[in-house]
Structure 1
Amino acid sequence: MDLDARFDERPVFVTGADGFVGSHLTERLVDAGANVHVFVRATSSGELRNVRHLRDDITVHRGDLRDKHSVSQALSALDEYDESIVFHLAAQAHVGESWERPYETVDTNVTGTLNLLQSIVDLDLDIAKFDTAGTSEEYGNVDSQVADKHDYHDDGRVMLNERSPVNPKSIYATSKLAADFLTMNFYDAYGLPGVTTRMFNNYGPRQNPRYITGTIVTQALERDIVELGNLTPKRDMCYVSDGVRGHMHVALDGNPGEEYVYGYGENISMREWTETILSVGTESGYWDDPEIVQSEDRYRPGDSDVEELLVGYEKLNEETGWEPEVSWREGVRRTIEWYANNKPKWYGRVDWR
């Protein structure tokens, strides 16, 4: 049975459903015929940014992860179902903003996760799987004291997997690691079938333009220079549809109490990534070779930057058959196309104007 068919009529609950990865996951689950409940942050306007086109196909619950009452109220909708799956993707997910809004980051990512887990226990819900979305940022840089605990590629690069030591270098990464551990705590204590998924750097349509790919694309669309920070770090870039499939595979076939990491399986420096994006955009006629400019104002504070991230996704591949399907250049082409055709959705959100 194929992946989508296994979600037909399955009750699912998605936090962060109106965000970047969450909206793509919600869209895929709707297409698969799942019974989709989503939890989105309550606002005075009640506006849905990314899943408005799915409004007739989903049940929307509004609240705030930091408010346990609203979390419990929303989750109580699952009381009538058996074997529900919870995808927990809601978070303050921007590394830079975690330094600007540290208390909100911790409150949302840590207390918010605790509110979900405790509410499931309090309501005694029948949950088949609780998938907490972690981040590759949890690995940070290699600590020399545990360097021998890492796995290494033949060329000397660190290969990060489920056994690798963690060393979070930002408030965001620390908060996500705490959420991972809380998920495991509730599995150990209550048998709540939690899994954690560390996706390596996602990119694609609808992503907040303050992330690196959107920053590059939106500047290139609007002016002759692309102003960026540190371009030496290397990242393992994974297109969003591949990331969504990873979540779905782990939710169905992952073993409770375990971690799953995945990404493209290759990394690239941010300078090379910028050059790749600009090359694809020039070939497609979106711009004409913008100049790359570095600005110290855009560097992460102190020594908090992570130098290199590269994933080994063998465990997920062996257990579920997952592997990336979208090449970097094809993913970049799709991403540029979305930004070029949806300027009103991102123009007011950029941080370079």
Structure 2
Amino acid sequence: EKNRPDIIINATGTYSAKEALTFYNLNSNAVINIFESITKISEYNPSILLIGTAAEYGIVSIEDLPLKESLKSFPVTHYGISKFCATLNAISYYQKLGMKVYIARVFNALGPGLPSCLLVSTILDQLLKNKSKEIKLGNINSKRDFIDIKDICDALEKILFKGSPGKIYNVCTGKSHSVKDILDIIKHNIGDFKITIDSKRFRSSDLDDVYGDYSRINTETGWLPEISLNESISKMIEHYK
């Protein structure tokens, strides 16, 4: 109760876990704990930014693209479901108690220092950290909306200071790129390497194409993504050197 920050950013949680309950404990229950702790402090209503994920949308069709915040969510993975639970709880605290909750639904992040469980970090770890000349991957034709971490940080700031409480904001580029596109950029920067397609790495929950619509955050805050895929990956490669 002594420490009362004006802004709370919840960037905790997990993307990968062995136990299903771990996702819900870290991604969902931890968020509820934050809100409940705040309710116990009198005359305290900070701005709370919850960082969500595009995985909350779940299974989508080509007709749904680009994904808008108004689209109904049907997440299928424990990660996506647990993050969506956090989003629903956040909106509930806003609606019932008037908490100043903002939700950033972030698509696929790129940038130096990101966890090795993420796609591009996994590839660069194998090639540059482990000095491998061969990498094993699943579906290299699947496409995702990749966005630089600096653009993400800029978006988070604008959501907090110019956004509206209780709203979800897509943080994305509005474009999708395939894993093959990323591999081509990496090859251009570091030279050729062998790619082995491993069928065991294919996942039933993988979608062919996913990209978002950032018109809401642009209209309300003026935010625009500025950093290209090529620049993002080049910075990541430089980080390993």
TM-score range, shorter chain: over 0.9
Partner of 1:109: 27
Of 173, 184, 188, the residue aligned with 1:275 is 184
Tell me the CA shift for residue 143 of structure 1: 6.3
Distance 1:273 1:306 in 2: 17
Tell me the CA shift for residue 178 of structure 1: 0.3
Distance 1:268 1:328 in 2: 9
Distance 2:61 2:232 in 1: 33
Identity, in percent, stands at 26
CA root-mean-square deviation = 1.7
Tell me the CA shift for residue 258 of structure 1: 0.9
Distance 1:114 1:85 in 2: 17
Partner of 1:142: 60
Equivalent residue letter for 2:236: T
Equivalent residue letter for 2:59: N
Distance 1:325 1:127 in 2: 33
Tell me the CA shift for residue 278 of structure 1: 2.4
Partner of 1:130: 48
Partner of 1:13: none
SS in 2 for 1:123: coil
Matched, 1:289 2:192: yes
Q: Is the 8 A contact 2:111 2:149 kept in 1?
A: yes
Instruction: Tell me which moved more, 122-131 or 216-225.
Output: 122-131
Q: Deviations over 1:35-86 (max 9, x none)?
A: xxxxxxxxxxxxxxxxxxxxxxxxxxxxxxxxxxxxxxxxx3433x6xx111
Q: Is the alpha carbon distance of 1:121 and 1:229 closer, same or farther for their aligned partners in structure 2, counting shifts above 3 Å?
A: same
Equivalent residue letter for 1:116: I
Of 247, 257, 269, the residue aligned with 2:166 is 257
Q: Is the alpha carbon distance of 1:223 and 1:254 closer, same or farther for their aligned partners in structure 2, counting shifts above 3 Å?
A: same
Q: Deviations over 1:155-187 (max 9, x none)?
A: xxx111111121212000000000000000101
Partner of 2:214: 313
Partner of 1:176: 83
Equivalent residue letter for 1:274: L
Partner of 1:54: none
Matched, 1:121 2:22: no
Distance 1:208 1:255 in 2: 30
Equivalent residue letter for 1:109: N
Tell me the CA shift for residue 126 of structure 1: 2.7
Partner of 1:87: 9
Unaligned runs of 5+ in 2: none
Equivalent residue letter for 1:208: P
SS in 1 for 2:40: helix
Of 215, 218, 225, the residue aligned with 1:324 is 225
Q: Is the alpha carbon distance of 1:210 and 1:189 closer, same or farther for their aligned partners in structure 2, counting shifts above 3 Å?
A: same
Distance 1:135 1:214 in 2: 18
Tell me the CA shift for residue 275 of structure 1: 2.0
Tell me the CA shift for residue 253 of structure 1: 1.3
Distance 2:214 2:224 in 1: 8
Q: Deviations over 1:213-266 (max 9, x none)?
A: 011112222111121122222100000010111111111111111111121221
Unaligned runs of 5+ in 1: 1-75, 151-157, 283-287, 342-353
Q: Is the 8 A contact 2:11 2:51 kept in 1?
A: yes
Distance 2:2 2:14 in 1: 25
Q: Is the 8 A contact 2:66 2:174 kept in 1?
A: no
Distance 1:203 1:142 in 2: 23
Partner of 1:345: none
Q: Is the alpha carbon distance of 1:125 and 1:119 closer, same or farther for their aligned partners in structure 2, counting shifts above 3 Å?
A: farther
Tell me the CA shift for residue 332 of structure 1: 0.7
Distance 2:90 2:28 in 1: 10
SS in 2 for 1:78: coil
Q: Deviations over 1:198-222 (max 9, x none)?
A: 0110011111112100111122221
Which aligned pairs between 1:192-203 and structure 2 lie closer than 5 A? 192-203=99-110
Distance 2:218 2:230 in 1: 23
SS in 1 for 2:3: helix
Aligned residues: 239
Distance 1:305 1:316 in 2: 27
Distance 1:187 1:310 in 2: 28
Tell me the CA shift for residue 112 of structure 1: 0.4
Higher Rg:
1
Q: Is the 8 A contact 1:260 1:315 kept in 2?
A: yes
Distance 2:168 2:59 in 1: 19
